[in-house]
Structures are given as structure tokens and as C-alpha cells.
Chains A and B, each alone.
Chain A
Amino acid sequence: MFENMLDSYAHYNNLRNMNTYFKVLFSILTMIMSLISTSPVVPSIIAVFMSALILLKAKTPWRFYLKFLLIPFSFALLTFIFMAIFFGVGAHVLELGIFNLAVTQDGFNLGLLVFARIMGGFTCLAFLALTTPMNELFKTLEIVKMPKIILELAMLMYRYIFVFLDEAINMYHAQETRLGYSSLKKSLNSLGMLASNLFIKTWLKGEQAYMAMESRCYDGSIKTMKKTESIKDIGARNLALLVLFEVFLVSVVYFTANFRVF
């Protein structure tokens, strides 16, 4: 499954042992830079830089990386086309010659900006998702005083998502081989059966998990072994590089603020 693969890449890549706080700080700050930019220049730089980091430094297979980016890319492209045609009031750049539609100047610029921002933001997100296991990501939230109960819920949920995904796929295949999805009415019925069975199963699993935890001295909090990693371990060199990179981005944001293609 797709998610399983993503999980295994997050666990086995060349940037896995880098300080988690550093990775989180880096991608969130860069994401914000991409967001505040008013021209497509900075988001494009970020998209290229982040992709290079993911492919060359973390050594994620490019085939998998492209597959991961396909959903946001196709969505961003659709948005670009939609905005270029319908969101302009300025001069026409290109007449389409059908239904009186035309690509307008400001529509094109806005579409390009949003397209670049989506790609910039998503490459940052991909960097985070592909280099850091989910549990470590959640651990960093303790710093912003996220309530413990939420972190525990999230970690348990993450575990069960994969358990239930397997069951759901098994049930789906079983139904499909018995022509369960051959018509609309049957599809709805089968999907209802699948989802309700899954719900009942999840409920039983939850009860069993509680019993198992109770018999192992569960007192309301889940204790896990923690690797001692703190925000102070980032190191002066990494921190300096981070500050330099972000200052560079801010200055590019400032100097290219009025850059437009048309």
C-alpha cells in the first residue's frame, strides 16, 4: 500500500538521524516564506531546493517522490488554468476563441502565484513527511504544550489506521469478487456493509486493546521509551545555516515583490 511505503521511507532515509526539531523548524519556516511571498520566484526556488534535498540528500526514490507530488501537482495545474481564465479583469493575453473566453493578465499572474505557492508548500510538506517518522513528529509538539492526551490519541490512531486499512482492503476485494460493486445501488449497499462492519470491528479492537492495556498496569497514561533529543542539540553550524537560508529567502521575497511574468 501507498501509505505503508511512505512510512517505510520515513524510517529509512539518509536524513533520518538528523535532529527532528531542526527538520521541523526548517520546513515550517520555509513553508511560511513560500506563503508570504507575493511573486512566484521564492516558491519556485523553494520547490526546486526542497526537491533536491529530498532526492539527493535523503535519497528517496524519484519515482515514489513524483507519485507523492502528483495529486497536489494536478490540483495546482487545474487551479492555474481556472484562475487564468476566470479570475481576471485586465488586458487579454490570449484569446481562446471559444465561448468568448480569454486568458487575462492579472488572472494569469494570480494563477501562477497560487500554483507556485502550492508547489512550494507541498515540497516542504513532503520533506517533513518523507524524512521524519510520524511518532517523532508528534513528539516535537510537546514543545508547544500540546496536551498529552491528544498526542497519545494521535499515536494510537496512527497505529490503528494501518491495521484497519488492511482489513478494509481485504473486505473490499472479497466484495468485489462477488460483484458487490457492479451497480450503483449495490455499491452503496456494499460500501455501507463494509464501513459498518469495519466500525464494529474497530469497536471490538478498541475494547480488546483496553483490556490488554489494563492487564499491563494501564493507569491512564501511555509510557514510551524516549530517545533523549532536545531542541538544544541542533548545533551552532546547523542553526547558522538555517538562519542564513531564511534570511536569503526573506531578501529574495523583498526584492522580487513586484516581479510579474506579464
Chain B
Amino acid sequence: MHIMEGFLPWEWCLLWYLVAIPVVAYGVIRIKKITDENPESKPLLAVSGAFVFILSSLKLPSVTGSCSHPTGNGLGAVLFGPAVASVLAAIVLVFQALLLAHGGITTLGANIVSMGIVGPFAAWLVYKGVMKLNLSTSGWYASIAIFFAAFFGDWLTYVTTATQLALAFPIPTMGEAFIKFIVIFAYTQVPLAIAEGFLTVFIFRYIMKLRPDILEDLKVIFPKIRETIKAVG
């Protein structure tokens, strides 16, 4: 769920822009460095951005019967790192605003903070954290890490959105407004976040089965895990 154009008062639009710009600027510097070092990564980044757009326009089935869109945060952050993912998310958000009437220009800053910064960073930290623990070397272990990364990436995005809305409309008090928005966003989003977690695991396992070399190029999985998958398969 994006914050719609015109929803936030102008002070909050400005503040979220100021929060978002440094992170995106850092991501731009990273992308510049990556593409200067290997020029072949430019078309790859572009098609990945397009992939994130398509992914976020797919309907996600969920247990409650309602439909929502996967955010694609988990996958993007795990594959490319959070800084690059934030830039891709920013471009995707502009396209979504102009092509699909989701989100908006004045609320772009706030949406980048929730979907391009908090979500990917949470997903990336969870993935790295679980992999660091290194409890097992089986292929399923990476899947579990991916599941939690996608789950928290999705869910924390919505918690951030609820926080942003509660800050903008603290009626009657900040705390009560927060509870209202959290009931709408966070609770209803838990099943969706679980669904996105499973979906991301499925995507990841298929890629691992069919083209593990891509994941190795991106340094997402380690050769050791690939060997065990081969041995099992």
C-alpha cells in the first residue's frame, strides 16, 4: 500500500524527502561505481528494475482471501544489496505513480522511506544475520533466511507506513492514531507478508535450481551451498 498523492500535509512530505534523499544519493554513487567498473551491469540493473516493477504489479494470493501486491523488497535487497535496491525502488515508485496511479509525486519521499529504505534494509539485515549464524549448510537453510528476509522486508514496510500516517494525523493522540493505522496495515499485512515470504522462497529455489551461476555472480549464495544442492539433486 502506497501513501497516495495529497494524503500527507506538506511539512511531512518535505521531511520524508529530506530523509530519503541522502540514502538514494548514496545508492546512486554505488550504482555509478558498479557500472564504471563493469559496464555490462547497466542493462542488467535496468532489467532487474523492470522485473521489480512487474513483480510488484502481480496479484499475490493470500489466506484471508484478499489480494495484495508483493513488494519485491526481500528479493531485490538480497540480490543487489539495500543501497542499489533503494535506487531501483525509487525509480519503480515514479513509474507506479505515473503509469498505474499508485502513490504520488509529493508523497514520493515518504514512499521511498518505507518501501525503498526500511523494507530493503530490514530484509538485507535479516538475511545477512541468519546466514552469519551459519547453523547449517543445506540449501533449505538459505531458503529459511530468504523467507524471514522477505517476511520482515514486507511487514516492516507496512509498519513504517502506519507510523508515517500516525505522525501526520495524530488525532486524538499520536499513540491512538498509531494503533488505528497499525490495526489496518500491520495486522492485515501479516498473512500477506507470510505469503510474500513463501513466494520469495519459491522464486529463489527455482533460480537456484535452474541458474545457480547468476546467484553466485551476485555473491548471494556461496559455492559450498551450491555443491550440497548438486549432491542432493
Contacts and interface: CB of A to CB of B under 8 A. Distances in A.
B28 A149 contact: yes
Nearest to A187: B61
B208 to A, nearest CB: 9
Nearest to B59: A191
Interface string A113-154: 010011111100110110000100100000000010110111
A134 B204 CA distance: 32
Nearest to A89: B172
Given A114-B7, A156-B46, A125 B207 contact: no
Given A149-B32, A152-B42, A191-B60, A196 B207 contact: yes
A6 interface: yes
A206 B31 CA distance: 16
Nearest to B9: A35
A34 interface: yes
A152 B4 CA distance: 27
Contacts, number: 209
Interface size class of A (residues with CB under 8 A): 35 or more
A55 interface: no
Nearest to B29: A147
A219 B42 CA distance: 11
Query: Most chain-A CB neighbours within 10 Å: which of B9, B13, B54, B104?
Result: B54
A116 to B, nearest CB: 8
A203 B44 contact: yes
Given A75-B4, A86-B180, A147 B32 contact: yes
Nearest to B8: A35
A218 B40 CA distance: 10
Interface in B100-117: 100-102, 104-106
Given A72-B5, A149-B32, A161-B53, A35 B106 contact: yes
29 contacts: A2-B100, A28-B105, A35-B9, A35-B106, A69-B101, A71-B100, A72-B4, A75-B4, A83-B169, A89-B172, A110-B171, A117-B7, A118-B5, A125-B105, A128-B98, A129-B99, A147-B28, A149-B31, A152-B46, A154-B91, A181-B61, A189-B202, A191-B61, A192-B201, A196-B205, A203-B44, A203-B211, A206-B47, A218-B39
Interface of A: 2-3, 6, 28, 31-32, 34-36, 43, 68-69, 71-72, 75-76, 79, 83, 86-89, 106-107, 110, 114, 117-122, 125-126, 128-129, 134, 137, 147, 149-150, 152-154, 156-158, 160-161, 163-165, 168, 181, 184, 187-189, 191-200, 202-203, 205-207, 209-210, 213-214, 218-220
Nearest 10 A/B pairs, CB to CB: A192-B202, A121-B6, A196-B206, A156-B46, A117-B6, A121-B5, A160-B50, A206-B47, A187-B61, A206-B44
